[in-house]
Homo-oligomer: A and B are copies of this chain.
Amino acid sequence: MTSEERGERPPPSRRIADQLRAAIQDGDLRPGGRLPSERELAEAHGTARNTAREAIRILAEEGLVDRRHGSGVFVRERRRALRFGAERYSRRLREKTGLSPYRAELAKQGLLPRVDCVSIQRVVAPTEIAERLRLPVGTPDVVRRENWYYASDGASEHPVQVGVTYVPWPIAEGTPLADSANLGKGSLYARFEERGHRITRSREEVTARMPSHEEARGLNLPTGVPVLEVLHTGIDQAGHPFEVTRFVMRADLAALDYDMAVEETDD
């Protein structure tokens, strides 16, 4: 039981945070608007600066405000414009638009996409990946392709997500999958089809967590923003998994959208 639940007065830092939070939620402080400075808050409440600072920190952890060194503290604007759904793997969509699903979604939002293939390596599959690819023991080799996805509004560009794709070596061998950043017309899934693997089912395991230290730096994440982690498994017409991709995406910019038939489950 917390002090608040017992009806006691919360400590000053909490009370200042509560008051600012209410002002944000009531619209007295508008998105993009600036909060009073730490020194102003401290004086207004008759506390030390550290106490006002603690209040700001509480709000930052909740993802409600952005702190900008040298400028001030601002009410965060909630966007979450990008929605990624299962149709991103649809051949029909691929053939119709000629765009990769990431590019198609950004185009819909009037944003400029950029995808950067930062590495292609032949590695031993991590356990989690090997399980999902049902790799036979003794043949653990996969191609690991790491892609970074950016969005630009014309003025500035932000990283949105990272995707790491694992392909069993026997499937990738001798194809652009094994060594080319540019996969050519139709991209990834067109190349899989040429190897006899047409994506028929998609399994997606979704979790959320706070970013690791490295992810927070790489994705340029403000405090109080979690990441969505999606472990995608592509399954072909024969029911065999042929690729696994782990996406890590900024949860403040991206959302997932699934539309599914319900009675189709066969267990």
Interface 9-residue window, one of A36-44, A156-164, A205-213: A205-213
Most chain B C-beta atoms within 10 Å of own C-beta, residue among A87, A217, A257, A260:
A260
Cβ–Cβ < 8 Å partners of A89 in chain B? 262
Interface 9-residue window, one of A120-128, A142-150, A223-231: A223-231
Please state if A62 and B205 are interface contacts (CB–CB under 8 Å). Answer: no
Report which of B227, B228, B261 forms a contact with A261, defined as CB distance below 8 A.
B261
A180-212: which residues lie under 8 A (CB-CB) from chain B? 199-212
Would you give the 0/1 interface string for A93-105, flagging 1 where the beta carbon is closer than 8 Å to chain B? 1000000000000
Please state if B87 and A200 are interface contacts (CB–CB under 8 Å). Answer: no
Question: A216 to B14, alpha carbons, bound, how many Å?
Answer: 14
Please state if A217 and B263 are interface contacts (CB–CB under 8 Å). Answer: no
Copies of this chain in its oligomeric complex: 2
Please state if B62 and A213 are interface contacts (CB–CB under 8 Å). Answer: yes
Cβ–Cβ < 8 Å partners of A255 in chain B? 205-207
Would you give the 0/1 interface string for A58-90, flagging 1 where the beta carbon is closer than 8 Å to chain B? 000111000000000000000010010011011
Please state if B207 and A263 are interface contacts (CB–CB under 8 Å). Answer: no
Please state if B259 and A258 are interface contacts (CB–CB under 8 Å). Answer: no
A131 to chain B minimum Cβ distance, whole angstroms, is 14
A267 CB-CB contact with B under 8 Å: yes
A243 to chain B minimum Cβ distance, whole angstroms, is 13
A219 CB-CB contact with B under 8 Å: no
Cβ–Cβ < 8 Å partners of A207 in chain B? 80, 228, 251, 255-256
A6 CB-CB contact with B under 8 Å: no
Cβ–Cβ < 8 Å partners of A93 in chain B? 265, 267
Report which of B199, B227, B228, B258 forms a contact with A258, defined as CB distance below 8 A.
B258
Cβ–Cβ < 8 Å partners of A227 in chain B? 208
